[in-house]
């Protein structure tokens, strides 16, 4: 059975434009994969804790030496990693907040970036251990950023996903959403067309 993992990061949850785009794709994917499984994690509605010294220490402490709190931190991270590794398709809804990704999505990335588990260092450099997956990124922006130095999201998301082994990535953008109703309507219509053209 094919599994799709959808990560929502908008503070507006299903009312966010990035989530609406991702939901449209997931609806189409489900129609094409009626026996497929969809797992949803909404880090906007249920934020993960940002990394702390205690959490980082728990990741590097051998299991037999962890305190109960450290084990709980490690277990929470491992749950996210197991969920990611079990998925065949990854769908990310990514709004732009103040020129970057939501801090809740960054926290998610921080929890799944684990040396020896999702990546490892080798004599030839880092090697991602989460391979064989397809990722779709649905990016919603109030302004026009694609292809400009102000688009910090695209290279960062690509770099992070590549780092853990996910290299097959498609992006769909809806931009200028705060530049007037006509621009928003046009941008969302173009995004819907782009979603319809994606390989499922």
- Is 99 marked as a binding-site residue? yes
Q: Are 28 and 195 in contact (CB under 8 A)?
A: yes
- Is 96 marked as a binding-site residue? yes
Residues 6 or more apart whose Cβ sits within 8 Å of residue 106: 100
- Is 98 marked as a binding-site residue? yes
Q: Are 139 and 77 in contact (CB under 8 A)?
A: no
Which residue, among 37, 130, 38, 127, has the nearest Cα to 82 in the 3D structure? Answer: 130
- Is 97 marked as a binding-site residue? yes
Mark the binding-site residues for FMN, compressed into ranges. 10, 96-99
- Residues annotated within the binding site are 10, 96-99
């Amino acid at each position: 059975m094919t599994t799709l993992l959808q990560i929502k990061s908008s503070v507006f949850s299903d009312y966010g434009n990035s989530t609406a785009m991702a939901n449209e794709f997931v609806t189409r994917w489900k129609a094409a994969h009626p026996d497929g499984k969809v797992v949803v994690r909404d880090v906007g509605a249920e934020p993960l804790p940002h990394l702390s010294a205690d959490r980082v220490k728990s990741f590097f402490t051998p299991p037999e030496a962890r305190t109960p709190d450290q084990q709980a931190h490690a277990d929470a991270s491992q749950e996210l990693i197991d969920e990611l590794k079990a998925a065949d398709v990854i769908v990310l809804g990514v709004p732009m907040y103040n020129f970057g990704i939501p801090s809740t999505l960054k926290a998610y990335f921080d929890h799944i970036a684990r040396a020896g588990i999702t990546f490892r260092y080798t004599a030839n450099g880092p090697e991602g251990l989460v391979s064989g997956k397809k990722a779709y990124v649905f990016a919603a922006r109030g302004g026009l950023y694609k292809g400009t130095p102000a688009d910090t999201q695209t290279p960062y998301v690509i770099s992070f996903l590549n780092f853990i082994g996910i290299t097959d990535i498609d992006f769909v953008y809806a931009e200028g959403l705060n530049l007037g109703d006509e621009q928003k309507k046009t941008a969302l219509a173009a995004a819907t067309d782009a979603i319809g053209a994606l390989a499922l």
